[in-house]
Amino acid sequence: MTFQNSKKYSIAIFKWLFICILIGILSGSASAFFLVALEFVTQIRNHHDWIIWLLPIGGLLVGLSYYYWGESVVKGNNLLLEEYENPKNVIPLRMAPLVLFGTLITHLFGGSAGREGTAVQMGGAIADQFTTLFKLDRNERKTLIILGISAGFASVFGTPLAGAVFALEVLYSSKINFKSVVLSFLVAYAAYFTVEFWEIKHTHYSIPNVPDVTLINFAYTVLISILFGLAALLFSRSTHFWSSLFSNIKYPPLRPFIGGIILTLVLIGFGLTKFAGLGVPVIVDSFSHTSQWYDFLLKILFTGFTLGAGFKGGEVTPLFFVGATLGSALSVIVPLPIALLAGLGFVAVFSGATHTPIACTIMGVELFGIEPGIFIAIACIVAYFSSGSVGIYKSQIVRGAKYQLYQKLKKKELEHL
């Protein structure tokens, strides 16, 4: 290697290290602020149930903000996936404050939504600004989007390994170079430690009792994981169904307004406020107390309706809710520890809905420890294969083992016709 090439290579390394650290600090700080603000508005709602009556007004505010200022970023996570596949325009920075505002309003007034979408969109919008600043080319910009997703996910859940792998796996359809892999891990840890610096605490879960890996326990795990995959399929279909239905309302700001009216009447009228917001207390409780058999179905319904109507947030924490409560409910008939069943559902439904079994397995180990690792891996892989070809992200291009399996099945069906 000549001196000139060595110097050029060193400058490139320094540039990307600098970019990773900046994205990590900025995205991590944005997530830290978001988590504090989210806890604040959640506590307001928990102590003042009457505020749910204002959900239609909150929906109108969210709808109007995106109608007048956010038309170019309304696709949210799907915009990140589309720009990665076919880079065209730098993602406007206003995506970050808009999704932050929309998510906080959604949670303040009782919409059923998550938080990962907000952190990922803020991370993606922040990261993509470096395209212009450093005059990066098309391929380098794709790396930036990976970094933004990685930083956002790692910081909001406190799982840097899973965040790094999730960003790579959710974009698996395209060739990802070694540089992107290394940088994804680097930015994930930079964002994670930034949140730690701000002394933000994440929810802790545990599986205290892990049984031996026997043939019967393996069989039970496979069977319940098929159910987790079907729950993921139902969740994805529900979200897309309500989104399609509300699209018939031609004036977009009216969608969350009308949706808010219906949600308010149902949540208040039937005393179902535990399904408002993230539902973290219900998730935590499911690890030690048997959930009602219908809890996971109602969370699917309310989250799909909330997001389909145009409210903002994410799908991942509701997916945790769905999986944990389904697993907990299955403890009545499945002779495995309740915490293990809830934990497996927690990550397996997420795996099926996002087509990311590797990231979800790693997340399970980060959250619950290495002891249940075998059960977690089995659950995530089985749910991944049994959840169908449609996930929560419409713009995600599914490739890999699942894609090949479904292609073979389609080919066989055509041969029999």
Same domain, 137 and 229: no
Instruction: Write down the pLDDT at residue 384.
Output: 96
pLDDT above 60 for 390: yes
pLDDT(400) > 90: no
- Same domain (yes/no): 241, 320: yes
* Residue 226: count of CB within 10 angstroms of its CB: 17
The pair phi, psi for residue 94, each rounded to 5°, is: -65, -10
The answer on 396 and 316 residing in a single domain is yes
Q: How confident is the model at residue 105 (pLDDT cuts 50, 70, 90)?
A: very high
Helix (H, G, I), strand (E, B) or coil at 109: coil
In 3-state terms, what secondary structure has residue 312?
coil
Looking at residue 411, what is its pLDDT? 59
Residue 3 has pLDDT above 70, yes or no: no
How many whole angstroms separate alpha carbon 126 and alpha carbon 119? Answer: 11
324 & 394 share domain: yes
Residue 203 lies in a domain: no
Query: 260 near 413, Cβ under 8 Å?
Result: no
Reference 104, options 29, 30, 165; nearest CA is 30
For the ranges 280-289, 364-373, 406-415, the lowest mean pLDDT is seen at 406-415
Average pLDDT score over residue span 344-348: 98
Query: Is 340 in the same domain as 193?
Result: no
Dig out the tokens for 23 from the structure: 């994205």
- What is the pTM for the complete model shown? 0.94
pLDDT of residue 8: 77
Please indicate, yes or no, if residue 122 is contained in any of the structural domains: yes
Q: Could you list the beta-strand ranges (E) of 173-225.
A: none
The stretch 400-411 carries a mean pLDDT of 62
Q: What is the CA radius of gyration of the chain?
A: 21
> Do 104 and 160 share a domain, yes or no?
yes
- Give mean pLDDT, residues 284-311: 98
Confidence grade of residue 397 (pLDDT, cut at 50, 70, 90):
confident
For residue 139, give the amino acid letter. Answer: N
User: Which residues are CB-neighbours of 182 under 8 A, at least 6 positions away?
Assistant: none
> Are residues 385 and 277 part of one domain?
yes
pLDDT of residue 178: 81
Tens-digit pLDDT profile for residues 24-69: 999 999 999 999 999 999 999 999 999 999 999 999 999 999 999 9
16-20, 156-160, 217-221, 398-402: segment of lowest average pLDDT: 398-402
Compute the distance between CA of residue 28 and CA of residue 197 in angstroms, rounded to an integer: 9
pLDDT band of 394, cuts 50, 70, 90: confident
Q: What is the pLDDT of residue 405?
A: 63
Q: Measure Cα distances from 13 to 19, 128, 137, 182, 185 in Å.
A: 10, 19, 16, 11, 15
Which one has a higher pLDDT value, 416 or 67? 67
Domain that holds residue 299: 215-402
* Across 320-329, average pLDDT: 98
113 with 260, same domain?
no
CB 286 within 8 Å of CB 342: yes
Total domains present in the chain: 2
Give the confidence band of 4 by pLDDT, cuts at 50, 70, 90.
Answer: low
